Structures are given as structure tokens and as C-alpha cells.
Amino acid sequence: MSEPSGSSFHETLIGGAALAVAGVMAYGAVGIPSAAGYAGVGPNFLPWVVTAVLALCGGWLIWEARTGGFREMDPPSGAEQGDWHALAWVSAGVLLNAALITLIGFILSCALCFVLAVRGLRASEGRPAGNVRQTVIDAATGLSISAPVFWMFTKLLAINLPGLSGTGWL
């Protein structure tokens, strides 16, 4: 088979990446015990289902790319180049959330992630990223979203999330 052209080569890479992720998931699923649980389904059932569907999608993407490319695809929208400042704000929010969640708790770290991500998304639209007033509003919005999520997981579902205090409410 001949070497694919530029765009179909990249499209083939997308399918190959999906297959690679499916392979990594399969490797992880092998280590999950298969003892049947409730209704005869073991804990490794869902990871294997996701792995199989992802492998099927990866194979399909490769087939599409090798037989003419992704058909009926809309032309790309958006800017010619990525907005690196906006990406930096959103990335900082996600990374700081991961780094600080055990130190300052779920609620505060997720609220901080929200503030930084919203600032980046505003910047990506060409709007002002936010002054002090807008940052306070974003922080209040982030707290009003993350606090109920924390309480639902810890109080209703009994799932332990890192908190700021030992009471289980912060």
C-alpha cells in the first residue's frame, strides 16, 4: 500500500492514537480482578467494554483515513494559530488544582481552577480576562459549584474527597 498523502496521514495517526490508548487501557484492564460480582459482572467488565469500543473506533478511523479520508468533514473553524496565553491560564488552573487539592481541599482547589480556566476562556474570545470585581464573581461562582459537588460526593455518596478541615463540610 502506498504512503498516505498529508491529510490522510494525519488522519491515520488519529486512528493509530485511538488504538494505542485502547492498548494502554487493555494493559491496565488485565490487572483488574475478574471475579464476578453483582449480577455476574466483575469489576473488569466496564474497562474491557471501553477498550473494545475504543479499539473499534480506532480501527474505523484508520479505515476511513486509508479509503479516502474523513468524508463530509467541515472546514476547520477558529483562528489560524492557537491562543497560547489562554492555554496557559487553563493549564495553570488544571495543574494547580491537581497540585493543591490535598493541601487546600477540593472546594478551594476546584474554585481556583474555575477562576483560572474562565480567565483563559475569556482571553481566547478576545474579551478582557477580568478585573478584580470579575475575579471575585468568578471565585464566588466556582465556590457555589464546587461546594455542593463536594457535599454530594462526601455526604450523599460517601466518597472521600480531600477536605480543608476534618469536619467533612469544607
Q: How far apart are CA 2 and CA 5, in angstroms?
A: 9
SS3 4: coil
pLDDT digits (tens, 9 = 90+) for 47-98: 999 999 999 999 999 999 998 877 777 887 767 777 889 999 999 999 999 9
In this prediction, residue 2 carries a pLDDT of: 44
If you average pLDDT over residues 88-116, what whole number do you get?
94
Cβ(97)–Cβ(113) below 8 Å:
yes
Q: Is 150 exposed, middle or buried (0-12, 13-18, 19+ CB in 10 A)?
A: buried
Q: How far apart are CA 64 and CA 68, in angstroms?
A: 6
Q: Which residue has the cell 495543574?
A: 95
Residue 38: pLDDT above 90? Answer: no
All three cell numbers of 100: 493543591
Is the pTM of the predicted complex or chain greater than 0.85? no
How high does pLDDT run on average in the chain?
A: 86
Helix, strand and coil percent figures for the chain, each rounded to 5 = 70, 0, 30
> When comparing pLDDT for 161 and 27, which is higher?
27
Residue 150: pLDDT above 80? Answer: yes
